[in-house]
Structure 1
Amino acid sequence: MSYPSELVIDRADDVVTLTLNRPERRNGVTWPLIEELIQALETVASNVEDRAVVLTGAGGAFCSGMDLAKSVAPNEFEFMRRVGHAVTLLHELPKPTIAKVSGAAVGFGCNLALACDLVVAGETALFGEVFADRGLSLDGAGSWSLPRLIGLAKAKEIVFFGSKLSGAEANDIGLVNQVVAEDKLDTVVADWATRLADGPTLALSMMKKALNTSLETPFATAVEQESLAQSLSFRSQEAREGMTAFLERRPPRFRG
Structure 2
Amino acid sequence: MNNPVISQRLQGVLTLTLNRPAKRNALNGAMYQALTHQLREAALDTEVRVVLLQGQHDCFTAGNDLADFIGKESLDEDDPILQFLHTLADFPKPVIAAVAGAAVGIGTTLLLHCDLVYLADNARLQLPFVELGLVPEFASSLLLPRAVGHLKACELLLLADPISAQEALSLGLANQVLAPDDLLAHAKHQAERLAAKPPLALQRSKALLKQELRQAVHFVIDTEARAFSLALQGEEAQARIARKLAPRG
TM-score band, normalised by the shorter chain?
0.7 to 0.9
CA change 1:74–1:131 in 2 (3 A) is closer
Structure 1 residue 215 displacement after superposition: 5.5
Q: Which runs of 5+ in 2 are unaligned?
A: 216-249
Hey, what's the Cα distance between the residues in 2 that align with 1:191 and 1:58?
17
CA change 1:5–1:215 in 2 (3 A) is closer
Report the equivalent of 2:120.
122
> Residues 178-193 of structure 1 correspond to what in structure 2 (within 5 A)?
178-193=176-191
Report the equivalent of 1:228.
none
Structure 1 residue 84 displacement after superposition: 2.8
Letter in 2 for 1:155: A
Report the equivalent of 2:16.
18
Do the aligned partners of 2:57 and 2:100 also contact (CA within 8 Å) in 1? no
> Residues 1-256 of structure 1 correspond to what in structure 2 (within 5 A)?
3-58=1-56, 60-71=58-69, 73-78=71-76, 81-214=79-212
Do the aligned partners of 1:84 and 1:141 also contact (CA within 8 Å) in 2? no
Do the aligned partners of 1:129 and 1:158 also contact (CA within 8 Å) in 2? yes
Q: TM-score, normalised by structure 2?
A: 0.80
CA change 1:62–1:79 in 2 (3 A) is farther
SS in 1 for 2:146: helix
Hey, what's the Cα distance between the residues in 2 that align with 1:76 and 1:107?
18
Letter in 2 for 1:190: K
Please say which structure displays the higher CA radius of gyration. 1
Structure 1 residue 175 displacement after superposition: 1.2
SS in 2 for 1:155: helix
CA change 1:72–1:200 in 2 (3 A) is farther
Do the aligned partners of 2:57 and 2:180 also contact (CA within 8 Å) in 1? no
Letter in 1 for 2:105: G
Query: Runs (4+) of structure 1 moved beyond 4 Å?
Result: none
Hey, what's the Cα distance between the residues in 2 that align with 1:112 and 1:72?
23
- RMSD (CA atoms): 2.0
Report the equivalent of 1:254.
none
Q: Which structure has more RCO (C-alpha within 8 Å, separation ≥ 6)?
A: 2
Do the aligned partners of 1:72 and 1:79 also contact (CA within 8 Å) in 2? no
SS in 2 for 1:70: helix
Hey, what's the Cα distance between the residues in 1 that align with 2:108 and 2:42?
22
Do the aligned partners of 1:121 and 1:167 also contact (CA within 8 Å) in 2? yes
Count residues with an aligned counterpart.
215
Structure 1 residue 87 displacement after superposition: 2.3
Letter in 2 for 1:69: A
Letter in 2 for 1:17: T
Q: TM-score, normalised by structure 1?
A: 0.78
Q: Which runs of 5+ in 1 are unaligned?
A: 218-256
SS in 2 for 1:212: helix
Structure 1 residue 69 displacement after superposition: 2.0
Report the equivalent of 2:222.
none
Letter in 1 for 2:91: L
Q: Describe the superposition over 1:56-112 as per-residue Cα deviations: whole angstroms up to 9, x where unpaired.
A: 114621111111123463453238853233122222212111000010001111112
Q: Describe the superposition over 1:153-197 as per-residue Cα deviations: whole angstroms up to 9, x where unpaired.
A: 211121011121111110011111111122221232122101110
Hey, what's the Cα distance between the residues in 1 that align with 2:95 and 2:31?
19
